[in-house]
């Protein structure tokens, strides 16, 4: 045993648990922990400009690769309250991030001391554990439990609040014998796997809905193997997109009332048995439940027991880690195939592939100002298969999910349920920290970009390159579209005559190029559709060469209504469909499914 400060034990534990990427900013109440990290030298820290930004950076870092746990750190008082949005975003999408806050000394916690707030009570609803540690001897055990909780069952965030005197008190601690607590996820049984296969065997048009739990389990390969073994098409949710490549013959398209493909919705509405793996039946996925459920049976597999039946009662359910369920299903399916009782839905799979080759929205517009659909067409062409996209909310995210493509697990990183404006930029910095050899492309509308634009300076200071595509219509576009139901356009325009701006975009208000350059980054504005692809390709080269974020602002037409509705069978289309291949040149073509 070695006698050391509690914060020195924390630094050692972070290293042993593999959580060595931290984001935040120091302050008086957390400086002891920073002194321990500096003394150890094994933990990298990225200085944020805003503590909410630090929490989103940690979230992005976590989402970028299996096993990652990002850490965000702040001082007492407002640092913790600033992190709440980040904790909510992580909790909503089942992401493990660790928030560490400083706190006033224990003796003054009930005396309204400077920046002393009960942050653990505030954070409790959006974390798996939120604890103010009052005894220094409890520090190692608290962190050990925190890491186990973050990794167990449905993953999620934890906040640990550390009073100043607790941090500095000396304790006995032996890192050599410290071990992470075991994590034992629930596993589907052989009988449960057989029951699922029996229900699938009764189907004529089965569909697998693959949620974020498949990616959390790092089980994309098993998902594809099962789909190929059974000839069952797969529809990923927004959080599971990339689990099966978009151009795989069995990738049936995304389903939803906002983020979806036309062919994905059509295939779902034609299905008769749906197997949900690691998904939530989120409302933007299901829309009107009567339409969604009518005419089909549902099987639900999820790691969290309380998710079963939360939105609707399935016909059969299994509490299991998605990866473990896929392993059990593969074992049972192989056994049936070897005995001549294998399932096969090749004809149905071919029907789904045929839809995928025809039901596309038009993207090839030559209009000026630019129509947003053209931007996503050019992004597909410029960035190809190896890109990792990062985005959060708005018409930009919805249209992006309808028209972009994902080919790898975790190549689409999205704050799905919470959708906080401002998440995209800092999250992209966290993703780029985790994936230094990958082209990372953030996608924002102008308002999302403005929310936390100061974090661009973090990328400039720490040499974190990524490309930030800003589609600028100078509107709160999604809210404007929603206001159509109230016959109004009220307090959603961001346009004004900027006295410092020149050119056609002067009336759009904020000069994003000037702002980005002022924060130490590079930027370019695009106002003609034929120049988009070149600007995107050049931005990727400049980001890599100069090791800073590069902003590509595309000036859009002010008003574009994006396809969406309240029901899968009632999606409002506002633009012409693709009638010829040249109308949607990046559209996926039908792929033959082997007999």
**Is residue 350 domain-shared with residue 398, that is, in the same domain?**
no
Residue at a domain's end among 300, 329, 356: 356
- Residue 316 has φ and ψ, to the nearest 5°, of -155, 145
**Is residue 276 domain-shared with residue 145, that is, in the same domain?**
no
Say which residues have a Cβ less than 8 Å from residue 564's Cβ, sequence separation at least 6: 257, 258, 398, 481, 571, 572
Does residue 30 lie in a domain region? Answer: yes
Element of type H or E holding 383:
helix 372-383
> How far are the Cα atoms of 70, 105, 117, 175, 438 from residue 98, in angstroms, in the given order?
6, 22, 19, 20, 25
SS3 448: helix
Does residue 78 lie in a domain region? Answer: yes
Question: Hunting for tokens 């859009």 — which residue is that?
Answer: 556
- Give CA–CA dist 193/59, Å, rounded: 33
Does residue 574 lie in a domain region? Answer: no
**Is residue 422 domain-shared with residue 352, that is, in the same domain?**
no
Reading the block at residue 331, the tokens are 């074992």
Does residue 238 lie in a domain region? Answer: yes
Element of type H or E holding 16:
helix 6-16
Looking up residue 196, the CATH number of its domain turns out to be 3.40.50.1220
- Give CA–CA dist 417/93, Å, rounded: 6
SS3 199: helix
Strands 571-572 and 564-565: antiparallel
Strands 70-74 and 467-472: unpaired
Does residue 588 lie in a domain region? Answer: no
Question: Hunting for tokens 């016909």 — which residue is that?
Answer: 315
- Give CA–CA dist 358/351, Å, rounded: 11
**Is residue 197 domain-shared with residue 170, that is, in the same domain?**
no
471-497 residues labelled b (16+ CB within 10 A) or e (exposed): bbbbbbbbebbeeeeeeeeeebebeee
Residue at a domain's end among 125, 152, 177: 177
**Is residue 341 domain-shared with residue 408, that is, in the same domain?**
no
**Is residue 149 domain-shared with residue 218, that is, in the same domain?**
no
pLDDT at 580: 75
**Is residue 396 domain-shared with residue 467, that is, in the same domain?**
yes
pLDDT at 575: 84
Of the candidates 278, 282, 274, 281, which has an alpha carbon nearest to the alpha carbon of residue 304? 278
Question: Hunting for tokens 């493909």 — which residue is that?
Answer: 261
**Is residue 438 domain-shared with residue 477, that is, in the same domain?**
yes
**Is residue 318 domain-shared with residue 206, that is, in the same domain?**
yes
pLDDT at 337: 87
Instruction: Show the beta-strand stretches assigned E in 466-568.
Output: 467-472, 522-526, 550-555, 564-565
- Give CA–CA dist 314/199, Å, rounded: 12
Counted domains in the chain? 3
In the chain, helix, strand, coil percent, each to 5?
40, 15, 40
SS3 198: helix
**Is residue 6 domain-shared with residue 78, that is, in the same domain?**
yes
The answer to whether the Cα torsion of 89, 91, 93, 96 is positive or negative is positive
| Phi-psi domain of 265 (left: phi exceeds 0; alpha: psi -120 through 50; beta: other) | alpha
pLDDT at 594: 41
222-257 pLDDT, tens digit each: 999 999 999 999 999 999 999 999 999 999 999 999
- Give CA–CA dist 263/354, Å, rounded: 9
Residue at a domain's end among 151, 177, 203: 177
**Is residue 346 domain-shared with residue 381, that is, in the same domain?**
no
CB 214 within 8 A of CB 239: no
Element of type H or E holding 395:
helix 395-403
pLDDT at 592: 41
| pTM assigned to the model | 0.94
- Give CA–CA dist 276/594, Å, rounded: 25
Q: H-type helices in 404-525, by residue range?
A: 424-434, 446-451, 456-462, 477-483, 512-518
pLDDT at 503: 67
pLDDT at 380: 94
Which residues share a beta bridge with 565?
Answer: 571
SS3 442: strand
The answer to whether the Cα torsion of 378, 379, 384, 385 is positive or negative is negative
Looking up residue 8, the CATH number of its domain turns out to be 3.40.50.970
Find the domain containing 529 and state its range. 372-562
- Give CA–CA dist 255/264, Å, rounded: 5
Report CA 348 to chain centroid distance, whole Å.
31
DSSP letters along 61-120, please?
HHHHSTT--EEEEE-STHHHHHTHHHHHHHHHTT--EEEEEEE--GGGTTTT-TT---HH
| Phi-psi domain of 411 (left: phi exceeds 0; alpha: psi -120 through 50; beta: other) | alpha
**Is residue 163 domain-shared with residue 204, that is, in the same domain?**
no
Does residue 182 lie in a domain region? Answer: no
342-364 pLDDT, tens digit each: 677 989 999 999 888 888 898 88
Of the candidates 216, 210, 217, which has an alpha carbon nearest to the alpha carbon of residue 233? 210
Mean pLDDT by 10 residues, the chain (595 residues): 93 96 96 94 94 97 95 95 96 96 89 83 97 96 98 96 96 95 96 96 96 96 96 96 95 95 95 96 93 96 95 96 97 89 84 88 90 94 94 92 95 91 96 96 95 96 97 84 86 84 76 94 96 97 96 93 91 84 68 43
Does residue 590 lie in a domain region? Answer: no
pLDDT at 561: 87
CB 168 within 8 A of CB 190: no
Question: Hunting for tokens 């661009």 — which residue is that?
Answer: 456
117-146 residues labelled b (16+ CB within 10 A) or e (exposed): bebbebbeebbbbbbbbeebeebbebbbbb
- Give CA–CA dist 520/210, Å, rounded: 40
CB 279 within 8 A of CB 209: yes
- Give CA–CA dist 398/392, Å, rounded: 9
Reading the block at residue 357, the tokens are 């080759």
542-573 residues labelled b (16+ CB within 10 A) or e (exposed): bbeeeebbbbbbbbbebebebbbbebbeebee
CB 450 within 8 A of CB 510: yes
- Give CA–CA dist 12/253, Å, rounded: 45
Does residue 578 lie in a domain region? Answer: no
């Amino acid at each position: 045993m070695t006698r050391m400060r509690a914060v020195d034990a924390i630094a050692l534990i972070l290293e042993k648990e593999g959580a060595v990427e931290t984001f935040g900013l120091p302050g008086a109440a957390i400086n002891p922990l920073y002194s321990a990290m500096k003394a150890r030298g094994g933990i990298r820290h990225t200085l944020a400009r805003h503590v909410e930004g630090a929490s989103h950076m940690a979230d992005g870092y976590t989402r970028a690769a299996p096993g990652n746990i990002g850490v965000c750190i702040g001082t007492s008082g407002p640092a913790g309250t600033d992190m709440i949005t980040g904790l909510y975003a992580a909790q909503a999408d089942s992401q493990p991030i660790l928030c560490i806050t400083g706190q006033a000394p224990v003796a003054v916690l009930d005396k309204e001391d400077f920046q002393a707030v009960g942050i653990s009570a505030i954070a409790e609803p959006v974390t798996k554990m939120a604890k103010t540690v009052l005894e220094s001897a409890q520090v190692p055990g608290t962190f050990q439990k925190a890491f186990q909780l973050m990794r167990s069952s449905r993953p999620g965030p934890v906040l640990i609040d550390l009073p100043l005197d607790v941090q500095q008190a000396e304790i006995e601690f032996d890192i050599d014998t410290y071990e992470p607590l075991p994590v034992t996820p629930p596993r589907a049984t052989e009988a449960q796997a057989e029951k699922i296969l029996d229900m699938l065997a009764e189907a004529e048009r089965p569909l697998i809905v693959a949620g974020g739990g498949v990616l959390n389990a790092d089980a994309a390969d098993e998902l594809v193997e099962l789909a190929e073994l059974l000839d069952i098409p797969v529809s990923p949710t927004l959080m599971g997109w990339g689990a099966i490549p978009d151009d795989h013959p069995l990738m049936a398209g995304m389903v939803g009332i906002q983020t979806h493909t036309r062919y994905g919705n059509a295939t779902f509405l034609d299905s008769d048995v749906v197997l949900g793996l690691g998904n939530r039946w989120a409302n933007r996925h299901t829309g009107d439940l009567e339409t969604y459920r009518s005419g089909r049976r549902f099987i639900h597999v999820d790691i969290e027991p309380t998710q079963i039946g939360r939105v609707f009662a399935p016909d059969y359910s299994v509490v299991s880690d998605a990866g473990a369920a896929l392993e059990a299903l593969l074992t049972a399916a192989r056994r049936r195939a070897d005995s001549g009782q294998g399932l096969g839905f090749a004809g149905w799979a071919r029907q789904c592939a045929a839809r995928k080759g025809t039901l596309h929205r038009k993207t090839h517009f030559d209009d000026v100002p630019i129509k947003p659909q053209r931007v996503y067409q050019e992004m597909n062409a410029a960035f190809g298969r190896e890109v990792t996209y990062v985005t959060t909310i708005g018409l930009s995210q919805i249209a992006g999910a309808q028209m972009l493509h994902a080919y790898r697990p975790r190549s689409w990183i999205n704050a799905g349920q919470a959708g906080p404006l401002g998440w995209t930029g800092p999250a992209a910095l966290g993703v780029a920290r985790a994936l230094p050899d990958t082209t990372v492309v953030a996608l924002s509308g102008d308002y999302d970009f403005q929310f936390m634009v100061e974090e661009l300076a973090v990328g400039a200071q720490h040499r974190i390159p990524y490309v930030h595509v800003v589609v600028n219509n100078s509107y709160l576009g999604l809210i404007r579209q929603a206001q159509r139901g109230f016959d109004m356009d009220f307090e959603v325009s961001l346009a004004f005559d900027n006295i410092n701006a020149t050119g056609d975009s002067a009336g759009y208000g904020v000069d994003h190029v000037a702002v980005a350059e002022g924060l130490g980054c590079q930027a370019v504005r695009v106002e003609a559709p034929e120049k988009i692809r070149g600007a995107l390709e050049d931005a990727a080269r400049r980001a890599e060469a100069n090791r800073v974020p590069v902003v590509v602002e595309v000036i859009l037409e002010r008003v574009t209504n994006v396809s969406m509705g309240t029901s899968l069978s009632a999606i409002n289309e506002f633009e012409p469909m693709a009638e010829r291949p040249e109308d949607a040149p990046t559209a996926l073509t039908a792929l033959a499914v082997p007999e």
